[in-house]
Amino acid sequence: MAPRRRAPRPRFAFPHALYPIVDAAPGRDVLALTDAVLGAGVAFLQLRAKDTPTAALVELARAVKARADRAGARLIINDRTDVARLIGAAGVHLGQDDLPPTAARAMLGPEAVIGFSTHNADQLDAALRDGGMDYLAFGPIFATVNKRDPDPVQGLAALAVARARCPLPLVAIGGIDGATLADVLASGADAAAVIGAINSAADPHAATRALLAAAHGA
């Protein structure tokens, strides 16, 4: 029997099918990367800075948000509801070990965009029962090197099952690049979150433009 689910929050939709994540890896110029991504025409992006101390993260997030504001884009902060609230970000993206979405909603208010990561069908069903989020992430779809201890690869078939179970906007994540983006969207994802194919590209601006074009054409 399918689990009981709270009514979805239908107001949110991804502005396009590419969801870039700017990752503050050691030695990376995050602001230059942000400029490259925004310059490609992105309207919605996430800042991920898992190893950045709080004071430095606040400073970085403010600088990234200023760039996003000038470009007319919305910024989502990874994990840190407190930082999202402090800098006035559009919202937060939470993991399984972070603040529950309902608690983040209480902190950020009804207009904030709240995303939540799930890594299998059971987690997805539990998230839908608990509520509080605007969209769900599902993955990793493919093998990824951007997480220290990645969850098991789910694949496109599991993504299609997740799509059938999920009434909320669904973003796929994990190892997605230009060669797999169309298949991910064809399997039911509303958007594809991309880290490595942008952050590790020789030309992040060109890589983002190419991914946006592929997303629009899928």
Residue-wise pLDDT for 47-90, tens only, equals 999 999 999 999 999 999 999 999 999 999 999 999 999 999 99
All domains of the chain in start order, with CATH: 18-217 (3.20.20.70)
How many other C-beta atoms lie within 10 A of the C-beta of residue 190?
Answer: 19
pLDDT at 146: 66
Nearest to 131 by CA among 161, 97, 94: 94
Q: Residue 8 pLDDT more than 50?
A: no
6 touches 131 (CB < 8 A): yes
pLDDT at 111: 94
Q: Which of 9, 48, 65, 80 is catalytic?
A: 48
pLDDT at 3: 52
pLDDT at 150: 78
Q: Which of 5, 85, 147, 209 is catalytic?
A: 147
Q: Which of 9, 65, 80, 117 is catalytic?
A: 117
pLDDT at 144: 82
The token pair that represents 71 in the structure block: 């470009």
pLDDT at 147: 66
Residue-wise pLDDT for 173-206, tens only, equals 999 999 999 999 999 999 999 999 999 999 999 9
The token pair that represents 78 in the structure block: 């990874």
Query: Known catalytic residue: 148?
Result: no
Nearest to 135 by CA among 97, 161, 173: 173
Nearest to 198 by CA among 187, 185, 186, 214: 214
The token pair that represents 88 in the structure block: 């006035």
pLDDT at 5: 53
Sorting pLDDT into bands at 50, 70 and 90, what band is 11?
Answer: confident
In angstroms, rounded to a whole number, what is the distance separating the alpha carbons of residues 122 and 138? 11
Residue-wise pLDDT for 110-143, tens only, equals 999 999 999 999 999 999 999 999 999 999 999 9
Query: Known catalytic residue: 65?
Result: no
Query: Known catalytic residue: 147?
Result: yes
